[in-house]
Chains A and B, each alone.
Chain A
Amino acid sequence: MALLEVKDMTQYFGGLCAVTDFSVTFTGGELMGLIGPNGAGKTTVFNLISGFYQPSCGDIVFKGKNTRGLKPHKVTGLGIARTFQNIRLWFDMSVLDNILVSQYYHLGYSLWDCFVRSNRYLRREAEMRAWGMEILEALDLAQFADELPGNLPYGIQRRVEIARALSTKPDLLMLDEPAAGLNSADVEGLIKLIAWIHKEFKLSIWMIEHQMDVVMSLCTWIKVIDFGATIAEGTPKEIRENPVVIKAYLGDDAI
């Protein structure tokens, strides 16, 4: 059974067709890229899959379950986590609290447990804390656990966001422009980090990225969209040489 199967997904905003007949299949363990010029509809694809928008037509099936009509938190609970283009951490909460709250779906105790501090509450809080620290340590963030995210450098904030997404225990991690705003040294670290996460956590990663060296060095399969329509897909080498892609990026007369 495929991990994620998206079939002919289409999204209209009013009269505008933001995404047309988008299809993709993850069998598990891929590292896929999604690229395209600005405004091509890449983030809309992520928003549709994470349940923030409901597709106008088409189906999204994750682990054999159709996610139509599910609220975003349910979709995340099923195992799709994502990061955001512009960092959306909870900035008035410590890094560790950020990681803890994003395990909300797997909370496993009720309000009543919380009031009476039942054994289940104590056990789950300890487990979540341990898992959160494990993630932070894995991503080399443990020393920032009690800091507010706003006080950290931008590159670290990006990492915290990835850690937060990982803490939901996803099977598919969607990264929305993870390298945006990073300097070249940070980008290199990021490439290593993503490759390491992919190997270590044994999950599928799907990323939107504008920096071609990141996409080309990490991804094994790349999809290109423009004006909502898929215009090409293939291995990095194929994409690099595809005239349609070059045209979409550079325009007609550039070659």
Chain B
Amino acid sequence: MLQSFIQNIFNALQWGSFYSLIALGYCLVYGVLLLINFAHGDIFMVGAYIAFYVCMLFLGKFGIIPGMPGWLVLALAVPLTMMLTAVVGVTLERVAYRPLRRKGVNRLYVVITALMCGLILEHANLALLGASRRSFPTLIPTTVYNIAGVNITNVKMGVILVAILAFFFLRFVVVKTKIGMAMRAISYDRFAVPLMGIPADSVIVFTFVLGSGFAGLAGLLFAVTYPVLDPYMGALIGWKAFIAAVVGGIGSIRGAFAGGFLLGFVEIMVVAFFPSTLRDLIAFTILLLILSVKPTGLFGVARRTKI
């Protein structure tokens, strides 16, 4: 009983790690631009596909370069995937969001554009690569450590560790560095920031680089853990990560991190004790209840309106 409970905790930590990594990206962009980047879940999906092609390339499957050992491929794939996914994110920013921001239109229009960009990414992928699912190659052999009856794999440990490191890294960037300070400044007053000599657009691009980069990392890790890719994989997990970010208190790095793990726990525990078809139902109901009781989320702070 206890063993299976601890086992579930580890599963939840791993599952929550994915949510956290994606939620962090939502949170960064929202924190700076007050924009729900609805395309973020699909950027995660694109990240997984990029990881797939990068790995296939280095494994020598395309015949362009000779195959390399799995650990080296993984080591190369992590930075490369993050960079390429960041390029996708920044492209969206440049092509779709920035022109709208320049025109100073209603915030809602940017949100709709984001939602539509997500759909375009999904279906462009579907149209280009076809509906067949892809299976991700095995890069490193899974080792199972059995500690007192609890199975922990090296992949699982890696995922959890990466999520925690990502959290501390992002928190460091936002709280301690100069560019983090600029990001926070933009979230307070986007119009005053350029007047203070801060290059707002570069800061925003940097935000997208960070957010999309970590979505790409999440995509890679997800593909390593669950080696089946399909174009719709980002939609549901993206929505859920977004909900996790809101429950944590959107705009708060801590909140996004905690919200992701909370959602992971709820889902894994529901599956452990109830039929798995009830997972979404119970998870969403719990989140809705949290939001009704505390509308600003767990770590969110209400902005006081002045009259």
Using a CB–CB distance below 8 Å, which chain A residues touch chain B? 43, 47, 52, 84-85, 88
Contacts and interface: CB of A to CB of B under 8 A. Distances in A.
The 6 A-B pairs at the shortest CB distance, nearest first, are namely A84-B307, A47-B307, A52-B307, A43-B307, A88-B307, A85-B307
Contacts of B307: 43, 47, 52, 84-85, 88
Interface in B276-307: 307
Nearest to A47: B307
Contacts of A84: 307
B219 to A, nearest CB: 43
Counting contact residues on chain B (CB < 8 A from A), the size range is under 10
A193 to B, nearest CB: 23
Contacts, number: 6
Interface of B: 307
B306 to A, nearest CB: 9
Contacts of A52: 307
A52 B304 CA distance: 12
A52 B305 CA distance: 11
A181 B209 CA distance: 44
Nearest to B305: A52
A89 to B, nearest CB: 13
Contacts of A47: 307
Nearest to B306: A43
6 contacts: A43-B307, A47-B307, A52-B307, A84-B307, A85-B307, A88-B307
Nearest to A86: B307
A85 B306 CA distance: 11
A196 B307 CA distance: 27
A84 B307 CA distance: 7
A85 B307 CA distance: 7
A218 B21 CA distance: 63
Contacts of A85: 307
A47 B307 CA distance: 8
A36 B3 CA distance: 68
A88 B307 CA distance: 9
Contacts of A43: 307
Nearest to A13: B304
B305 to A, nearest CB: 9
A21 to B, nearest CB: 23
